[in-house]
Amino acid sequence: MKKSIVCEGVETEVIADFLKNEGCNEIQGFLYYRPMSIEYFETVMHMQKAI
């Protein structure tokens, strides 16, 4: 079907590893970042660009 799969709500490495092995294309959830203000989000994004 050539669809991209996004899995939300991932909270542990075990779940993330399982989803990666099952072919999930994108993973998001508390494992990677907690909810944050827009100001902090912008700071994180600027830091990512600098890497």
Mean pLDDT of the chain: 92
Confidence label for 19 from pLDDT (cuts 50, 70 and 90): very high
**Whether pLDDT at 1 is above 80:** no
As a whole-number percent, the residues of the chain with pLDDT over 70 amount to 98
Residue type, 16: A
**Whether pLDDT at 3 is above 80:** yes
**The dihedral formed by the CA atoms of 38, 42, 44 and 48, expressed in degrees to the nearest 10:** 150
The answer to whether the beta carbons of residues 10 and 16 sit under 8 Å apart is: yes
The answer to whether the beta carbons of residues 2 and 23 sit under 8 Å apart is: no
Distance set, CA 39 to CA 1, 10, 30, 43, 44 (Å): 38, 24, 18, 6, 9
